[in-house]
Amino acid sequence: GENVEQHPSTLSVQEGDSAVIKCTYSDSASNYFPWYKQELGKRPQLIIDIRSNVGEKKDQRIAVTLNKTAKHFSLHITETQPEDSAVYFCAASIGTGGFKTIFGAGTRLFVKA
């Protein structure tokens, strides 16, 4: 079955710096890769996603890249702010003929003011 590995488990950056979180997946049939942000005591919130026919997607300070050949994808946050502090989860999903999402272990991001 699908396995998603996520690194690092913890990331601490200074406000204004960039943060990068990397994930790898095992099932080449995966075609949908969402990223979720979870603040303490709250639900996971979808912040950006990418589908397998796209190599890169950007939304303001957040960007995601996908390398299907290498089976890895990354989240990039630029100009980090203290409110970016949260746990971030990557996920890989097979979205055709069903929908099954496997999540990475999560990255706890601390942005120091």
Partner 1 sequence: SAVISQKPSRDICQRGTSLTIQCQVDSQVTMMFWYRQQPGQSLTLIATANQGSEATYESGFVIDKFPISRPNLTFSTLTVSNMSPEDSSIYLCSVVSGQGVTTDTQYFGPGTRLTVL
Does the footprint of partner 1 cover residue 44 (CB under 8 A)? yes
H/E stretch holding 102 reads: strand 100-103
- Judged by CB under 8 A, does residue 34 bind partner 1? yes
Adjacency order of strands within the sheet including 56-59: 4-7, 19-25, 72-77, 62-67, 56-59
The distance of closest approach from Cβ of residue 80 to partner 1 in the complex, given in angstroms and rounded to an integer, is 22
List the helix and strand counts (H, then E) for the chain: 0, 11
Which residues are registered as beta bridge partners of 110? 12
Q: Does 40 bind partner 1 (CB under 8 A)?
A: no
Residue placing its CB nearer to partner 1 in the complex, 13 or 102? 102
User: What residues from 68 to 107 belong to the interface with partner 1 (CB under 8 A)?
Assistant: 89, 93, 95-96, 99-106
Give contact residues for partner 1 (rule: CB under 8 A): 32, 34, 36, 42-46, 49, 51, 89, 93, 95-96, 99-106
